[in-house]
Structure 1
Amino acid sequence: MTRVFSFVTVIGVAVLLAACSPAPRDVTQDDINMLARQIRNLSPEVDPAEADRAAFIAYTYSLQLAEEYNVTDNPIIHNAKVNNGWRARGLCVHWAEDIEKRLNAEGFQTLEMHRAIAEGSELRIDHSTAIISARGDTMNDGVVLDPWRTGGLLYWSRTLDDQRYFWEPQQLVLERKYQAKLERKGGPAPD
């Protein structure tokens, strides 16, 4: 009986540790090619070379940020480290800011970056991300670029296909939160 208990305990600890581990950091050319294809398919106006470059940067820069942020745990544990001052950066908002800034630095002519927030609920905290779209399209027509979700390995999907989050434009969410804060303090926002 003690052996069974010991075995179950060891397996339980191993599963727990695996669940708290950061994402594997293996990116293949096929991964990059699939994202590039998705970006190219956003519009016939998208320059294929820009789509290829954006996909390559999104994947490789996500891995670089994971190193710079010293990500050694899953995203929630890493957030706790940032919030307690044990790490300087690595909250979802940092990932979104840095990916957006890096891709904007490319000066793409046929692609455009957006910022989005999925508001929290009783079970979730707010989550920020960057979204890439064809120039002139909305964020809902784009592709979510979310390396925070897996601790550095890029997650991506069409915005409206993301089963985990309902994305809204960052500015809209921030304005709504500001209004709610003012109302809690006893009055509407000044005109």
Structure 2
Amino acid sequence: MMRILNRLLCVLAAVFLAGCVAVPDEALLPDQVGLAQAIVALDPAVDPEEAARVAQISYSYSLQLREEYNVTDGPLLHNAKVNQGLRPRGLCWQWADDLEARLWQEDLKTLTLHRAIANHDNIRIEHSTVVISAKGDSMAEGIVLDPWRYGGRLYWSEVVEDSRYNWEERAQVFALKKARQ
């Protein structure tokens, strides 16, 4: 009985936290061309074909994962369902792991993949994502590729323009957490 009550409370908390967050119109209209152009604009050495491939995969694979994860709700409610065993996958780090693994298959020559984490040091829910930058550039100079934020509808922006999250390199966050232990 206690387990059922705990599950119910988790789901209710997720519903409360998720509210009625609607997916913005721009997230419903894929902009692969805009993403490819933004990736090319990172550096003159970025291969336009490689950028177009990354943009196409980022959009299409995010939607494929949405189906595989059986996403029917907003991200926080879906997280609650994953944590309760009602969905197979779909936590932000799983989206990031899967998108990163898919992009690694492309053997990118002019672009670099990074992993980023936000909110590791406050009470908000920690969030993970993938960042793409020009080869040799830092994560901070890249573009956020976030399939979790809108439940499989890709969100992207320059790292410095993402007003919702303060991204930090995952390796640095892990090192900081290890040092605190």
Tell me whether the two structures share a fold, i.e. TM-score over 0.5.
yes
Q: Is the 8 Å Cα contact of residues 75 and 150 (structure 1) preserved in structure 2?
A: yes
Q: Is the 8 Å Cα contact of residues 23 and 151 (structure 1) preserved in structure 2?
A: no
> For residue 133 of structure 1, what is the aligned residue in structure 2?
133
Structure 1 Cα separation of the partners of residues 166 and 56 of structure 2: 26
CA displacement at 1:69 relative to structure 2: 0.5
Give TM-score scaled by structure 1 length: 0.80
Structure 2 Cα separation of the partners of residues 22 and 93 of structure 1: 20
Structure 1 Cα separation of the partners of residues 39 and 84 of structure 2: 37
3-state SS of 1:145 partner: strand
Provide the identity percentage. Answer: 52
3-state SS of 2:149 partner: helix
> For residue 71 of structure 1, what is the aligned residue in structure 2?
71
> For residue 186 of structure 1, what is the aligned residue in structure 2?
none
Taking the TM superposition and a 5 Å limit, the aligned residue runs for 1:50-61 are 50-61=50-61
Taking the TM superposition and a 5 Å limit, the aligned residue runs for 1:1-191 are 19=20, 26-28=28-30, 31-120=31-120, 121-122=122-123, 124-180=124-180, 182=181
Counterpart amino acid of 1:137? D
CA displacement at 1:119 relative to structure 2: 2.3
After superposition, what is the alpha-carbon deviation per residue over 1:48-100, rounded to whole angstroms, capped at 9, x for unaligned? 00011110110011000000100000000000011111111100000111111
Give TM-score scaled by structure 2 length: 0.84
How many residue pairs are counted as aligned between the two chains?
162
* Distance of aligned partners of 1:84 and 1:65 in 2 relative to their CA distance in 1, 3 Å threshold: same
The runs of 4+ residues in structure 1 deviating greater than 6 Å are 21-25
CA displacement at 1:22 relative to structure 2: 6.9
CA displacement at 1:20 relative to structure 2: 5.8
> For residue 3 of structure 1, what is the aligned residue in structure 2?
none
3-state SS of 2:87 partner: coil
Note the residue ranges of structure 1 that are not aligned, 5 or more in a row.
1-16, 183-191
Structure 2 Cα separation of the partners of residues 21 and 161 of structure 1: 21
CA displacement at 1:21 relative to structure 2: 6.7
* Distance of aligned partners of 1:18 and 1:119 in 2 relative to their CA distance in 1, 3 Å threshold: closer
Structure 1 Cα separation of the partners of residues 105 and 24 of structure 2: 27
RMSD: 1.9
